[in-house]
Structure 1
C-alpha cells in the first residue's frame, strides 16, 4: 500500500488567504477492488469523524489493500474555524445561512436522452460514462460565469471527488446523539457490517446531503435501465455515519467505529482479509417515521429521555422549567410523547425558544436481520 498526501483549495477568505483541505490517498499494489471516498467534519463542531479517519488509517497499515481509498478529514476549514467562545458554530454558512451539508448538486441528468446515447455500451462502459458525466456536471457548475456561493464551491469540490468512488462515507455527529446510520433502502443489508445500533432507511429522494448526492443519480439510472429491460444494479453505495455527539474526540470509540468501517470494506472486497462484524443488536426505521419534536413553549429544559434508549408512550421526554411562572402550574411542565419511540438525538442547549427542535426520535422501529 502506498500513501500520498496532497491539499485542495476550496475557497478564499476576504483577505485573500487560501482555504485548503488535506487529502490522503491510499493506493494498492494492484487495483482490483472498489474505490472508496471518506470525508469528515463538514459541520464545524462534528470533529469525531477526524479521529475515526485517523484510526482507520492506522488499522489499514495491517491489511492488504485491493481498492484505492481517498480520505478527507477537516473537510470544511471555514466551518471548523467558526468559533464563538468555547463553542464551534460551523453548521451553517455564515454568509448565506445555508446548512453546509445541503449545498451539494442534484446531478439531474436527463436520463432518457442520455441513456439512448449510451445504451450500446456494455455495463462497465455505461457506468464509466455516467460517472464522467456526474463529475463533469460538478466541474461545469464550478466554472459558472456568474459565480457560486462559498458553500456551494466547497460542496462541489468535495462532490467531484466523491463521484469518482464506488463507496462514499460521510462522517458526522449529532448535537447530543447516539450513533446512527443513514442507509439507502436498496442496501439496507449493509447496516449489519457497521458498528452502529440504529439505522435510518432513506428513499431515492434528493435533499441536498452528500450521501444523496452520491447515490440518488445511480439509483435513478438503475431504475431507468430496468424500465428499458437492463439490470445495471446500483453501482455506488453511499452512507452517512452519525458518530455520537459533537464537540468531542474519543480515540478509543473512534477505533471501534473505524473497525466497523473496516468490516464493511472487507465485505465489499476493498481489503483482502475477512473482518467479522461486531455482535450487537441493530434496529431500523424508515425516514418517514423519523419524527421531530419541537418545544411547545420557551423555557429551560431538562432532557429526561436518554438517547438510544427505547421510550414508551407517556414516559417523560423533557421537563420544561419556567421561573417566570413560579407559584403556578406553568412553572414546571412534564412533557411526553403519545407513541413508543427511540430518542436518537436532542438539542445541545438547556435554554430554548418556543419551536426549538428538542428531539429527533425513531418510531415504528424494527429489528434488522444480521
Structure 2
C-alpha cells in the first residue's frame, strides 16, 4: 500500500490543502481498476466512515496478496470544504468563496484529454484544481464510486442508464432501497467521468459501457454515522469488489435487486408552497398514495388559515426528507420515487442545487 498527498495551494498567501490518497497495486493487469472517494460534500461523512473500515480490510488483503486490481481510495476528498465552518457549523456543500457546489462544474472532456487536466494548474482556483485532480484520478479507473449521503434518506444511488442493469450487483451489495437512473445531463463528478468514457473516441458517443461503472452512492443521511452501519457498508462494498474480481476470495451470493428503479423524470420533488414550520406526517421508507398528506406547513401560526397542507402528487416511495423543520417558500421537503413521470416542470440534470 502507498499513501501519498496531493497538495492544493490556496488562493491566498500561506494557505494550502492536503489530500491523502491510498493506493493498492493489483497483481493482475486484466482485473478492474477501482477509484473510490468520500466526502466531496465535506459534511457528508458516512462514506468516510465506510472508507476507514474498508481500508482496514484492504490492508490485510494486500498483505495476503489478494488485491487483483489497482485500488485508489480518497477517504476525505474535500479538505477545502472540511475547513469551512460558519458559526460553528460545517459548510461542506458549497465553496464559500465562489458560492459553487463542490459537486458541480467538473470539466466535461473526452477520455483522451485526461492528462491535460493537470496542465497549467496555477491558472485555476484552488477548488477547480481539486476537482481536476479528483477527475484525473478517477479517469484512470474502470469502477468509480463517489460516496455521498442525503439529509435524511434511504440507501440509494444515482446511476447512468448506460450502467444499468449491470450495476444491480452494487445496489444489492449495499442494500439499496432505490436507484435513480440519471440522464447524464449535468457536470456532477460521476457524470463527468461517464461523459469522458462515452466520448472516448472523438465524434462517436458510446451508449453502452460494459465493465465500467461511475456512480453516486447515497449512504442514508448525514447523521447516520455509526460503527455498525459503517461496518455493514464496508462489508457490502467488500462483497461488490469480490464479485467484480477486484479482490480474490469467496463472496456471498447476492439476491436479485428488489428496490425501486426509476428515471429522474419520475422523482417528485416535494417543495414547500409557503414558508413556515414543517410538520411531517410521513417518514422516509414509507409508501404513499396520490393525495396522501405528507406534510403541513405552519405558515401563519395561530391564524385560522395558518396551516398549509402538502400532499403527494402520485403514488410512490419516500426516499429522502429534509432534517430542518423550517421551510422557505419553494424549498425542498422530500423526494418521492414514483412509477410515472412527474407533472412538474424540471430542468435536465441534477434534482437539487
Measured against the shorter chain, the TM-score band is 0.7 to 0.9
Secondary structure at 2:220's aligned position in 1?
strand
Q: Does 1:73 align with 2:75?
A: yes
1:311-326 counterparts in 2 under 5 A? Answer: 311-322=288-299, 324-326=300-302
Of 81, 92, 96, which residue of structure 1 is paired with 2:94? 92
Q: Distance in 2 between matches of 1:11 and 1:163?
A: 23
Deviation at 1:86, TM superposition (A): 4.7
Q: Does 1:164 align with 2:133?
A: no
TM-aligned CA deviation for residue 19 of structure 1: 0.4
1:286-339: CA deviations, max 9, x gaps?
A: 1121231221000000222211222221222112123x4414122x23321120
Q: Does 1:139 align with 2:115?
A: no
Shift >6 Å, 4+ stretches: none
Residue 118 (structure 1) aligns with: none
Residue matched to 2:343? none
Match of 1:342 among 301, 312, 317: 317
Q: Which residue, 221, 230, 244 being the options, matches 1:254?
A: 230
Q: Do structure 1's residue 352 and structure 2's residue 327 form an aligned pair?
A: yes
Q: Distance in 1 between matches of 2:47 and 2:201?
A: 31
Return the alpha-carbon distance in structure 2 between the equivalents of residues 232 and 241 of structure 1: 20
Which residue does the alignment assign to 1:298?
275
Deviating more after overlay: 133-142 vs 349-358: 133-142
The alignment status of 1:328 with 2:304, answered yes or no, reads yes
Distance of 2:35 and 2:149 partners within structure 1: 18
Over 3 Å counting, the alpha-carbon distance change for 1:223 and 1:197 in structure 2 is farther
1:26 paired residue among 21, 24, 28: 24
1:38: Cα distance to partner? 0.4
Across the two proteins, how many residue pairs are aligned to each other?
332
State yes or no: 1:103 paired with 2:105. Answer: yes
| Gap regions ≥5 residues in structure 1 | 110-129, 366-370
SS of alignment partner, residue 239 of structure 1: strand
Structure 1 pair 247–89 and aligned structure 2 pair: CA distance change class (3 A)? farther
Q: Going by fraction, where is helix more abundant, 1 or 2?
A: 1
Alignment counterpart, residue 181 of structure 2, candidates 201, 215, 219: 201
**CA contact 1:28–1:67 (8 Å) conserved in 2:** yes
- Which residue of structure 1 aligns with residue 197 of structure 2? 218
Stretch deviating more after TM superposition (339-348 or 93-102):
339-348
Asked if the contact 1:182/1:200 (under 8 Å) is kept, the reply is yes
Deviation at 1:29, TM superposition (A): 4.0
- The equivalent residue for 1:368 is none
Q: TM-score, normalised by structure 1?
A: 0.82
Residues 221-276 of structure 1, C-alpha deviation per residue, up to 9 Å, x if partnerless? 4896589xxx9845631111100111442121112122222222222211122423
Tell me the CA shift for residue 156 of structure 1. 0.7
Aligned pairs for 1:6-17 (under 5 A) are 6-12=4-10, 14-17=12-15
Give RMSD over aligned pairs: 2.5
Secondary structure in 1 aligned to 2:23?
Answer: strand
CA distances 1:328-360 after superposition (whole Å, capped 9, x unpaired) = 122x23321120121221222111211111112
CA deviations on 1:166-196 (whole Å, 9 max, x unpaired) are 1110000111111111112122221233321
